[in-house]
Structure 1
Amino acid sequence: MRLLIVEDERRLALSLAKGLTAEGYAVDVVHDGLEGLHRAGQEPYDLVVLDIMLPGMNGYRVCAALRAAGNDVPILMLTAKDGEYDEAEGLDTGADDYLTKPFSYVVLVARIKALLRRRGAAGGASPVVTVAGLRIDTGARRVHRGDDEIVLTAKEFAVLEQLAVRAGDVVSKAEILEHVWDFAYDGDPNIVEVYVSTLRRKLGAETVVTVRGAGYRLSARPS
């Protein structure tokens, strides 16, 4: 899953990015409302964490502009303000949830996971995917085969998740890079092959199928 943080408090933004990256998300950070609007309109984000008090364009206007353009990405608004009026204004512009600073990081992560689950449910997707003999819980970020849990790193799970939520479809290397690695990543795109190889070692050689020239898909058959 790929997240965008639009927050002008740089220390807070970078701290959130570091924590969410450790949770297994790909995270991009911008510090200006106009840049946030541009980035959110151009890149395939799964969720936006949006501060209200921003230079260039405030969060209310960014949110309203995204909704007016038909962008339904989940938006979690952050603000130092407090009061029913501010919350109502944020939600009226199309935000999905609202968190007042200072907030608990644990609560932030819980809200993000809830919004992502809600979006999956709205699209008819279950947070638990059963395929290739695996039970992949995208909410708890855990994988089981029968009663046995298969321990994956955050990045390994993120790659598997992209294949699992589109089980049966071919997912290109570029699509995996877009959702698992952040905007600043300029390393070797073959990093995807490295993680696919690791998943095959942990889950079984036949679990991830290479479709030559197109990408990868999860096998429907247990490994």
Structure 2
Amino acid sequence: MKIALLEPQASQSVLICDTLTAFGYQCQSFTTVKELQQQLRRGDCALLIIAWPMPEAANVDLIGWSREKLGHDLPLLLIGDGVAPDAFAAALDAGADDYLMTPIRAAELATRMQVLLFRRYPLPDTSQQVQYGHYRFDLRTSLLTLNGEPIELTHKEFALALLLFRNLGRPLSRATILETVWARDLDDDEMPSRTVDTHVSRVRNKLQLRPEHGYRLAPVYSYGYRLEQVTE
């Protein structure tokens, strides 16, 4: 998945791109608005990150251009340093989806991006069956089988298992899992992070996510979880 970054400062650009690469994304960095606009006209990026404010542009106009030319489906994340709250409010009103203040923390950046991506590109609700090794997901009936044998799962456990397999090898934060699987069923205060840990443990046990079945569900320290494929 390709992420476009508009950042004139080389050091900050390298930091952000290194972070995105570590979490399994492709990062294409631009230093000028003109370069970015030429690339985005091709429509081949999944999310746009803009350093805020940009010295060469009327910043709100840049967001307006993005929405006019690229539509409202492209997630747009701002990263700012010393920006007044009113300026961010104007940017959000103009069409930005979210913002982060520097200094950038890798885990927070990845979480904000994952939430935006899952909001814009939700998992399809179709009648297809999806196969991952010996695991088969029936998306119409929410039935999961292992080697042809059904596994008894709750709706949330099925959604969590599917989310993990669809992001095989990519770390998923607890916040992203809550946002995607629970879809704001409860307020944050009512949905503690241990809910995720409990469901992950159940999914690990019920799906027998062990090396002999080709997969390992591993914790990512102080962040979340990653489902890994185990090769012989």
Residues 49/29 of structure 1: CA separation in 2 closer, same or farther (3 Å cut): same
| Structure 2: distance between partners of 1:116 and 1:43 | 16
| Structure 2: distance between partners of 1:60 and 1:88 | 11
Match of 1:117 in 2: 118
Structure 1-normalised TM-score? 0.58
Q: How does 1:59-74 map to 2 (within 5 A)?
A: 59-71=59-71, 72-74=73-75
Contact between 2:43 and 2:70, CA under 8 Å: does it hold in 1?
no
Cα RMSD of the aligned pairs, angstroms, is 3.2
Match of 1:83 in 2: 84
* Partner SS state of residue 147, structure 1: coil
Structure 2-normalised TM-score? 0.56
Q: How does 1:40-189 map to 2 (within 5 A)?
A: 40-71=40-71, 72-121=73-122, 125=124, 131-132=130-131, 133=135, 135-136=161-162, 137=164, 138=166, 141=170, 146-148=207-209, 150=215
How far off is 1:57 after superposition? Answer: 2.5
Match of 2:32 in 1: 32
Gaps of 5+ in 1: 153-198, 204-223
Contact between 2:41 and 2:70, CA under 8 Å: does it hold in 1?
no
Residues 130/61 of structure 1: CA separation in 2 closer, same or farther (3 Å cut): farther
Match of 2:16 in 1: 16
Once the two structures are superposed, residues 61-107 of structure 1 have per-residue CA deviations (whole angstroms, 9 ceiling, x without a partner) of 22210101242310001111333211111111111101122232221
Residues 40/70 of structure 1: CA separation in 2 closer, same or farther (3 Å cut): closer
Contact between 1:117 and 1:139, CA under 8 Å: does it hold in 2?
no
Contact between 2:209 and 2:216, CA under 8 Å: does it hold in 1?
no
* Partner SS state of residue 57, structure 1: coil
| Structure 1: distance between partners of 2:59 and 2:94 | 9
| Structure 1: distance between partners of 2:59 and 2:124 | 29
How far off is 1:52 after superposition? Answer: 2.1
| Structure 1: distance between partners of 2:216 and 2:46 | 24
> 2:40 is aligned with what amino acid?
A
Once the two structures are superposed, residues 98-138 of structure 1 have per-residue CA deviations (whole angstroms, 9 ceiling, x without a partner) of 112223222111100110111123xx637xx9721255524
> 1:148 is aligned with what amino acid?
L
Q: Which has the higher contact order (CA 8 A, sep 6+)?
A: 1
Residues 110/12 of structure 1: CA separation in 2 closer, same or farther (3 Å cut): same
Deviating more after overlay: 1-10 vs 75-84: 75-84
How far off is 1:139 after superposition? Answer: 5.6
Residues 52/59 of structure 1: CA separation in 2 closer, same or farther (3 Å cut): farther
Residues 17/151 of structure 1: CA separation in 2 closer, same or farther (3 Å cut): farther
Gaps of 5+ in 2: 137-160, 172-203, 218-228
Match of 2:145 in 1: none
Please tell me whether Structure 1 or Structure 2 has the larger radius of gyration of its CA atoms: 2
How far off is 1:58 after superposition? Answer: 4.7
